[in-house]
């Protein structure tokens, strides 16, 4: 069953701790993305990757880090430097970076207390 | 950098009324995509428009891409409660043409 999987669905962390969100796809897509969504807001791009071992900062990369060591995986680390980490995080993938539809995971709702 | 703006931000309609959301880009787009996000869910792809002036229909949904390829619209005829959600447009942006989303229009359909 092909798709894109994010885990966990809900995540609670204490302030000052780093946390890593998982994103795995078995669609054989080259491009992957991380977006942040705040209540009632749109999707803001955090990081994106065109191909394995390559990634670029999006519009709001500060306080976040990523890696792309495997084509299937694009984990996002929310560091303690991120001022307001509580949000809904969405991972997506597409065949290539532009001109192709994006498939989204179910999202991870991160709450930092 | 490129910005993709959507209006309105919120829209409440009575069931059976029509609904339209508009998307405007500061630069010409090679294509535009539309997504729907149900409450508590994730965005799901609806359609992609590529050609100038293109019009596509999906049942009660009509999508248009402007002649200048800088604006687009989504029109829903005779809304139903199943149409509830947030509708986003998205287009390629930046040097790598990464997918950038508009701010979205949240549609509420009152029974």
Smallest Cβ–Cβ distance between A42 and the set B41, B48, B88 belongs to: B88
Cross-strand partners of B98: B93
pLDDT of A5-49, one tens digit each? Answer: 999 999 999 999 999 999 999 999 999 999 999 987 889 999 999
Q: Work out the pLDDT band at B2, boundaries 50, 70, 90.
A: low
B→A interface, C-beta within 8 Å: 1, 6, 30-31, 33, 35, 41-45, 48, 50, 88, 90, 92, 96-104, 106
**Per-residue confidence (pLDDT) for residue A110, from 0 to 100:** 96
Say if residue A1's pLDDT is above 70: no
Test B106 with A40 for CB contact under 8 angstroms: yes
Is A41 exposed, middle or buried (CB count within 10 Å of its CB: 0-12, 13-18, 19+)?
middle
**Per-residue confidence (pLDDT) for residue B98, from 0 to 100:** 83
| H/E stretch holding B60 | none
Nearest chain A residue to B105, by CA = A42
Smallest Cβ–Cβ distance between B98 and the set A40, A42, A48 belongs to: A48
Test B99 with A40 for CB contact under 8 angstroms: no
Q: What is the mean pLDDT of chain A?
A: 93
pLDDT of A43-70, one tens digit each? Answer: 999 999 999 999 999 999 999 999 999 9
The rounded Cα B55 to chain-centroid distance in angstroms is 13
């Amino acid at each position: 069953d092909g798709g894109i999987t994010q885990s966990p669905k809900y995540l609670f962390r204490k302030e000052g701790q780093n946390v890593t969100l998982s994103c795995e796809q078995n669609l054989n897509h080259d491009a992957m993305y991380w977006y942040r969504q705040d209540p009632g807001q749109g999707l803001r791009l955090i990081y994106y990757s065109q191909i394995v071992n390559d990634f670029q900062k999006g519009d709001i990369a500060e306080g976040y880090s990523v890696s792309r060591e495997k084509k299937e995986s694009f984990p996002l680390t929310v560091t303690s430097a991120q001022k307001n980490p509580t949000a809904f995080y969405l991972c997506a993938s597409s065949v290539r970076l532009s001109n192709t539809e994006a498939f989204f995971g179910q999202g991870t709702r991160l709450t930092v207390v | 950098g490129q910005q993709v703006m959507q209006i309105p931000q919120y829209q409440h309609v009575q069931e059976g009324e029509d609904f339209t959301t508009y998307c405007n880009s500061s630069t010409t787009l090679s294509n535009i995509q539309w997504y729907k996000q149900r409450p508590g869910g994730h965005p799901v792809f609806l359609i992609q428009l590529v050609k100038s002036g293109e019009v596509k229909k999906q049942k009660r949904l009509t999508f248009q891409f402007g002649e200048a390829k800088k604006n687009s619209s989504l029109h829903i005829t005779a809304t139903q409660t199943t149409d509830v959600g947030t509708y986003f447009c998205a287009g390629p942006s930046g040097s790598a043409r990464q997918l950038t989303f508009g701010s979205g229009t949240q549609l509420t359909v009152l029974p």
